């Protein structure tokens, strides 16, 4: 038989592709192919180890460097595949593999004269199935090896990796003199307000970030350093008005200032903000992007004076605004020709190329008009042009008068053509992604990376030949594009949060001009002409996010594909006919509005792919949603009033990839075939064959058991368990191998919780609240593998918990919050003398919050290593005394004294 099959394989070899050959070979010699699989998988594991060691060495060389998302995803993919191979080998070598033969033997015993063909068919069926699996696994191993070979960039450069670099360099003598002037003003009690002014792109924000870093991490002069961006409000009834005349959005500004104050709230008033600022002691308030005089009293900001010694620094493009604010002036001017060339050379980073193209380089630098932003962007573009002819082609484009934009505010239009040139040298697939980012220009908190990628997926930016790609592949591609846009300085990292990016004002203005009336963004101070002449027939994208609108106009927008109404907290009603006029809509975001129900007309959105209803007040998902047959992303997280979801509203969505119901109020997950009006159940979710990401809220133990036993358990990325009994240390949490966020609350019969490696591989955030648990631990196997993704740990109201020693192994932790745990005596228990214990290292720790801990005596029993000084907030911890002690990245011991621990106190530096 083997000879016959081998002969057939040879004869048909010219007609069969390689994959079919592999399957035939595997069928001929199943165990031989299995040995090949084991050998190739072992080679891949060794290759993975080498690659990870290389990454670790680079990270050790510079603690600011951070492995790329591509590397993280590839390492995880190898681990996942290794688990699959192990499971296959166990099956192949176990009794199951012979089940078919045993079955056929018993059949033969029953009928010895019988059906040899039937017995042979059963056995061959199993062989064919297993041979197909082994061939597929070998293919996956080889594909991952090729993918690993293609990863050239293992870590982000320090300048790219650090959200807020520990050494922000000022460019040019003028900028350094400005920095010195600000230092002088800050030391002068007679100066309370300082205004940094100059044209866009000259470096005002960079200077403000430098001040923020210096006075947050390097001195003890201020008890609080606060940062907020000034934005404008909008009323939908006045869309055509000049947006530069809009009033400042006072509510958002108050929230921006108050977000880092103790007991902050989403509804700051002038009085409450003023009281909180006064209670915080001497503060330094940094305000970015001020366009008009601010009424400090109306906002709730105490006036700086010689008694409180508080300071306010703001940036503006207008010296007039600076004078109106009675602020000491610090002007930033453009770079000199020599400084500009030096900066261009630094970011080009290719002296040989620069020498070859010296004359062209001089012209390019001159066309950047001494603006650091334009110089850096152009240098990044020219890195990839290796021939002198390419450089002179660039000069021709920049000097062509036909490419010049109309002058913008303060005559900045001349630099737009430089920025536009960098735009046209992006890859084709990156350009719409950059233009899309201009929808978020006025977001003072930055643009959420994952949310942005979801919008891109919703618009179909990553589709191939009309088909939706795998959601993980699409997200990986989106992260790569964002990283590339950051590396070219067309986007910038948020100064406060790793998971967000921002767009510079000039880049935003350029993107709006390129959109050419297809984009409407309100409020916006730089698109007067476009907003006065809106053409609803051609507009493709509208963002009203964060505005004060209370009603929506019924406009005919046949080409509208994105509508963002996020954070429109006054919006409660959607007109019945509203959706009839926007048939091409693909992305609809209604999150964090007061909307209570969706009109029936939503069924007209036949092209809708992304629907975000999170944090709305909807009580029921209408059946009409079933008509949205192209829907691939549905977000109903934090819908605290949602009670009804008809089965047919969900079960028919064959294209759905992501369903997010994390911390929703929906609880009816039980299948009830006798009830035709039943709600959606776990069984319905199993029928969504293309679903890849699922986030749920479970409040019954039986539902949780059903979930763990279901195939959809491997799709869970966020899970909230609350208010039931029955969880034990033996509960198989490890089947939730793709879990990223885990919240468990109000479970009072749980005494011990053991965290295992497979469960922790993807986990990014954990929150334990109101549990009876007295012990949380990490199993021994996990301790040998660093927990590389868990960044947020929040513990509250766990009154039997005495320590959080397991957190020592979470080297990736960025945020640690412990609140109202009555018996907690030490956070990181276990001293340096523990056998085999390694010094805990926290490379990314940013924030530690300790509140309401009456028995807390100390933070740690061991010597820790922390790369950057964390923000520490302590409140109502009466026994906490002494010092917070750790070693910095250079091994130097740092001590921080706890001060006034009965009240909120942020300690930001040490000796």
The larger pLDDT score, comparing residue 93 to residue 847, is at 847
Residue 22: the pLDDT is 54
- Torsion angle in degrees (nearest 10) through CA of 58, 59, 64, 70: 90
In the structure, what pLDDT confidence band is assigned to residue 841 with cuts at 50, 70 and 90? Answer: confident
Residue 32: is the preceding peptide bond cis (ω within 30°)?
no
**What pTM was estimated for this model as a whole?**
0.68
Do 278 and 251 touch, CB atoms closer than 8 A?
A: no
User: Is the per-residue pLDDT at 83 higher than 80?
Assistant: no
User: Is the per-residue pLDDT at 496 higher than 50?
Assistant: yes
Do 70 and 46 touch, CB atoms closer than 8 A?
A: no
Residue 129: the pLDDT is 62
- Report the alpha-carbon distance of residue 670 to residue 481 in Å, rounded: 42
Residue 541 main-chain phi, psi, to 5 deg:
-140, 135
The larger pLDDT score, comparing residue 77 to residue 266, is at 77
CA nearest to 521, candidates 454, 442, 448, 416? 442
The three-state (H, E, C) secondary structure of 498-566, written as one string: CCEEECCHHHHHHHHHHHCCCEEECCCCCCHHHHHCCCCCCCCEEECCCCCCCCCCCCCCCCCCEEECC
Residue 126: the pLDDT is 60
- Report the alpha-carbon distance of residue 382 to residue 417 in Å, rounded: 15
User: Is the per-residue pLDDT at 571 higher than 60?
Assistant: yes
Q: What average pLDDT is seen over the chain?
A: 78
The larger pLDDT score, comparing residue 58 to residue 97, is at 58
Lowest mean pLDDT among 218-222, 486-490, 808-812: 218-222
User: Is the per-residue pLDDT at 524 higher than 50?
Assistant: no
Residue 87 main-chain phi, psi, to 5 deg:
-65, -40
Q: Which helix (H) or strand (E) holds 828?
A: strand 826-828
Residue 218: the pLDDT is 55
Residue 450: the pLDDT is 93
Lowest mean pLDDT among 153-167, 331-345, 672-686, 697-711: 153-167
- Within 10 angstroms of residue 63's Cβ, the number of other Cβ atoms is 20
- Beta-carbon contacts of 304 under 8 Å, excluding residues fewer than 6 positions away, are 192, 193, 310, 311, 312
User: Is the per-residue pLDDT at 9 higher than 60?
Assistant: no
Mean pLDDT value across residues 714-735: 87
The larger pLDDT score, comparing residue 760 to residue 600, is at 600
Mean pLDDT value across residues 280-306: 89
Residue 380: the pLDDT is 84
Residue 788: the pLDDT is 66
Residue 780: the pLDDT is 59
Alpha-carbon separation of residue 284 from 220, 269, 454, 679, 898 (angstroms)? 11, 20, 36, 53, 21
Give bridge partners of residue 134 from the DSSP assignment: none
Angle at 826 (CA atoms; ends 825, 830), nearest 5 degrees? 130
User: Is the per-residue pLDDT at 531 higher than 80?
Assistant: no
Mean pLDDT value across residues 144-162: 67
In percent, the amount of the chain with pLDDT more than 90 equals 24
- Beta-carbon contacts of 857 under 8 Å, excluding residues fewer than 6 positions away, are 825, 826, 879, 880, 881
Total residues belonging to the chain: 911
CA atoms within 13 A on the CB side of 863: 11
Mean pLDDT value across residues 333-341: 88
Lowest mean pLDDT among 41-45, 105-109, 222-226, 713-717: 105-109
Lowest mean pLDDT among 406-410, 458-462, 635-639, 641-645: 406-410
**pLDDT tens track for 581-617:** 999 999 999 999 999 999 999 999 999 999 999 999 9
In the structure, what pLDDT confidence band is assigned to residue 146 with cuts at 50, 70 and 90? Answer: confident
- Report the alpha-carbon distance of residue 721 to residue 698 in Å, rounded: 5
Q: Checking DSSP bridges between strand 752-755 and strand 847-851, what pairing results, if any? A: unpaired
Lowest mean pLDDT among 97-101, 264-268, 693-697: 97-101
Mean pLDDT value across residues 336-351: 88
User: Is the per-residue pLDDT at 16 higher than 70?
Assistant: no
User: Is the per-residue pLDDT at 291 higher than 70?
Assistant: yes
Q: Is the dihedral of CA 259, 260, 265, 269 positive or negative?
A: negative
User: Is the per-residue pLDDT at 121 higher than 60?
Assistant: no
Residue 159: the pLDDT is 37
- Within 10 angstroms of residue 43's Cβ, the number of other Cβ atoms is 12
Residue 786: the pLDDT is 57
**pLDDT tens track for 167-209:** 567 778 888 899 999 999 998 989 999 999 887 778 888 899 8
User: Is the per-residue pLDDT at 93 higher than 90?
Assistant: no
**pLDDT tens track for 430-479:** 999 999 998 986 555 689 999 999 999 999 999 988 788 889 889 989 99
Q: Is the dihedral of CA 234, 237, 240, 244 positive or negative?
A: negative
Strand, helix or coil at 223? coil
Under DSSP, the state recorded for 410 is G
């Amino acid at each position: 038989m083997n000879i016959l099959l081998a002969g057939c394989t040879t004869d048909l070899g010219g007609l069969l592709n390689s994959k079919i050959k592999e399957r035939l070979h595997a069928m001929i010699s199943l165990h031989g192919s299995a040995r090949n699989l084991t050998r190739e998988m072992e080679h891949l594991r060794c290759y993975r180890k080498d690659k990870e060691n290389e990454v670790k060495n680079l990270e050790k060389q510079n603690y600011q460097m951070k492995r790329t998302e591509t590397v993280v995803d590839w390492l995880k993919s190898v681990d996942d595949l290794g688990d699959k191979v192990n499971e296959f080998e166990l099956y192949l070598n176990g009794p199951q593999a012979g089940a078919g033969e045993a079955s056929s033997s018993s059949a033969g015993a029953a009928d010895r004269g019988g059906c040899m063909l039937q017995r042979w068919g059963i056995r061959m069926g199993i062989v064919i199935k297993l041979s197909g699996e082994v061939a597929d696994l070998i293919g996956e191993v080889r594909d991952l090896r090729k993918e690993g070979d293609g990863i050239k960039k293992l870590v982000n450069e320090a300048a790219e990796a650090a959200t807020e670099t520990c050494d922000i360099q000022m460019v040019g003598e003028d900028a350094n003199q400005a920095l010195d002037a600000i230092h002088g003003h800050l030391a002068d009690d007679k100066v309370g307000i300082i205004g940094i002014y100059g044209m866009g792109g000259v470096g005002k924000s960079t200077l403000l970030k430098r001040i923020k870093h210096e006075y947050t991490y390097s001195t003890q002069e201020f008890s609080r350093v606060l940062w907020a961006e000034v934005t404008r409000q909008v009323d939908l009834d006045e869309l055509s008005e000049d947006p530069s005349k809009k009033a400042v959005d006072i509510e958002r500004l108050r929230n921006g200032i108050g977000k880092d104050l103790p007991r902050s709230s989403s509804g700051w008033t002038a009085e409450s903000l003023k009281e909180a600022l006064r209670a915080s002691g001497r503060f330094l308030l940094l305000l970015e992007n001020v366009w008009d005089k601010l009424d400090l009293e109306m906002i709730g900001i105490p006036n700086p004076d010689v008694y409180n010694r508080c300071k306010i620094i703001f940036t503006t493009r207008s010296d007039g605004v600076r004078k109106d604010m009675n602020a000491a002036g610090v002007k930033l001017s453009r770079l000199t020709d020599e400084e500009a060339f030096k900066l261009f050379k630094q970011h080009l980073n290719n002296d040989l190329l620069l020498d070859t193209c010296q004359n062209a380089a001089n012209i390019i630098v001159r066309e950047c008009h001494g603006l650091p932003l334009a110089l850096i962007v152009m240098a990044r573009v020219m890195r990839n042009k290796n021939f002198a002819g390419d450089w002179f082609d660039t000069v021709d484009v920049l000097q062509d008068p036909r490419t010049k934009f109309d002058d913008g505010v303060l005559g900045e239009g001349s630099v737009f053509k430089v920025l536009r040139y960098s735009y046209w040298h992006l890859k084709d697939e990156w350009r719409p992604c950059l233009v899309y980012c201009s929808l978020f220009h006025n977001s003072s908190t930055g643009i959420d990376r994952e949310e942005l990628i979801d919008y891109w997926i919703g618009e179909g930016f990553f589709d191939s030949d009309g088909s939706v790609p795998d959601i993980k592949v699409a997200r990986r591609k989106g992260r790569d594009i964002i990283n590339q846009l950051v590396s070219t300085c067309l986007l910038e990292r948020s100064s406060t949060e790793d998971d967000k990016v921002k767009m510079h004002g000039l880049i935003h203005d350029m993107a709006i001009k390129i959109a050419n009336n297809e984009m409407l963004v309100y409020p916006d101070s730089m698109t007067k002409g476009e907003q006065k002449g809106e053409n609803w027939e051609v507009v493709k994208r509208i963002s009203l996010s964060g505005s004060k609108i209370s009603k929506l106009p019924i406009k005919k927008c046949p080409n509208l594909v994105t509508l963002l109404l996020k954070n429109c907290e006054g919006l409660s009603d959607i007109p019945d006919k509203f959706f009839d006029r926007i048939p091409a809509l693909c992305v609809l975001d209604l999150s964090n509005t007061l909307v209570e129900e969706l009109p029936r007309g939503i069924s007209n959105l036949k092209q809708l792919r992304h629907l975000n209803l999170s944090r709305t007040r909807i009580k029921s998902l209408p059946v009409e949603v079933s008509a949205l047959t192209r829907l691939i992303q549905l977000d109903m997280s934090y819908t605290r009033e949602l009670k009804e979801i008809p089965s047919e509203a969900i079960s028919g969505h064959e294209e759905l990839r992501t369903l997010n119901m994390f911390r929703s109020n929906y609880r009816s997950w039980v299948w009830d075939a006798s009830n035709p009006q039943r709600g959606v159940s776990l069984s319905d979710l199993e029928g969504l064959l293309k679903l890849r990401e699922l986030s749920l809220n479970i409040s019954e133990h039986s539902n949780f058991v059903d979930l763990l036993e279901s195939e959809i358990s491997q799709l869970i990325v966020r899970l909230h368990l609350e208010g039931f009994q029955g969880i034990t240390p033996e509960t198989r949490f490890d089947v939730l191998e793709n879990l990223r966020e885990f919240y468990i609350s109000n479970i009072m019969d749980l005494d011990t919780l053991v965290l295992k490696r497979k469960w922790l591989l993807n986990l990014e955030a954990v929150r334990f609240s109101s549990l009876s648990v007295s012990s949380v631990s990490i199993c021994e196997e996990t301790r040998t593998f660093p927990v590389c993704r868990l960044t947020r740990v929040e513990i509250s109201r766990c009154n039997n918990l005495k320590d959080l020693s397991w957190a020592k192994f979470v080297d990736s932790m960025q945020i640690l919050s412990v609140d109202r745990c009555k018996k907690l005596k030490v956070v990181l228990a276990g001293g340096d003398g523990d056998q085999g214990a390694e010094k805990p290292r926290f490379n990314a720790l940013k924030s530690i919050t300790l509140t309401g801990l009456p028995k807390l005596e100390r933070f740690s029993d061991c010597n820790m290593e922390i790369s950057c000084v964390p923000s520490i907030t302590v409140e109502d911890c009466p026994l906490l005394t002494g010092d917070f002690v750790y070693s910095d990245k250079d091994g130097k011991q740092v001590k921080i004294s706890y001060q006034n621990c009965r009240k909120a106190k942020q300690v930001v530096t040490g000796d």
